[in-house]
Amino acid sequence: MDQKHVVGELDLDQTLFAEDQIVGRLREMAAEIETDYDGKDILLVGVLKGAVMVMADLARSLNRHVEMDWMAVSSYGSGTTSSGVVRILKDLDTDLTGRHVIIVEDIIDTGLTLSWLVTNLKSRGPASVEIATLLRKPDALEMVVDVKYVGFDIPNAFVVGYGLDYNEKYRNLRCIGTLAPHVYS
C-alpha cells in the first residue's frame, strides 16, 4: 500500500520510528519475555484499540505458546486527555485466577489508564500482572506505573500510527510519527 497517499503519511511532521525499528524492538522485548516466563503460561491482555498492532507483532515474535484476550476501556476525559476514571466497555473472557498476565499496550501517557487496569486485574486473583508497552512518555506521567517491558521512551508529543489514532485515523500507518499542526489546527 502506498502509505504516503492512502493513509496520510504526508500528514506527519516527523517519523519517529519506522516499521522495521518497531518490529525489531518488539522482537527484543519478546526475547526478554521468553526468558522471564520460562516454564510459565502467559496470558497476553491487549487493550483495544491501540494495542492491536503491538499485540500482533509481539505475539508473533514469541517462540512459544501464548493465549490472548482483549479488553476495551474508556477513559472519561476530554478529547486527548484522560481523567483516570475508567469504564470497561468489553471485559475479558478469561478467568485470571492463577494466570500470569502481561498487559499489552501501545502507549502509556499519563499512566492513569494502566494504573487503574493493573489494580483491576490484580483484584481477580492472577499469579502475576506485568505491563508491556511499545511507547511511554516519561514527561507526561501523572501516576507511577511499574512497567516491566518498554519499547521506547518518547517526548511528550502527540503521536499517531501503528495503532495510535487521531480521531480514529492513522491507526493503519506502518510507522509512528508526530502529526503535523496543519492536521489539527
**Span of 13-21, 37-45, 107-115, 149-157 interacting with ligand PRP by CB under 6 A:** 107-115
Establish whether 109 is a catalytic residue: yes
Cβ–Cβ < 8 Å for 16, 161? no
The nearer residue to ligand PRP, 61 or 82, going by C-beta atoms, is 82
Nearer to ligand PRP, 61 or 113 (CB): 113
Beta bridge partners of 74: 87
What residues between 35 and 54 interact with ligand PRP by CB under 6 A?
47-50
Size of the site for ligand PRP (CB under 6 A): 17
* Catalytic hit among 95, 109, 139, 153: 109
**Smaller CB separation from ligand PRP, 62 or 160:** 160
Stretch that binds ligand PRP, among 25-33, 61-69, 90-98, 100-108 (CB under 6 A): 100-108
Considering only residues 69 through 98, tell me which ones interact with ligand PRP, judged by CB under 6 A. Answer: 75, 82
**Counting contacts by CB under 6 A, is residue 169 touching ligand PRP?**
no
Instruction: Give the whole-angstrom CA distance, residue 85 versus residue 140.
Output: 17
Nine-digit cell at 115? 494504573
Residue 105 within binding range of ligand PRP, rule CB under 6 A: yes
In the bound state with ligand PRP, the residue whose beta carbon lies nearer, of 34 and 130, is 130
- Give me the residues that bind ligand PRP (CB under 6 A), please: 47-50, 75, 82, 105-114, 165
Catalogue the active-site residues: 109
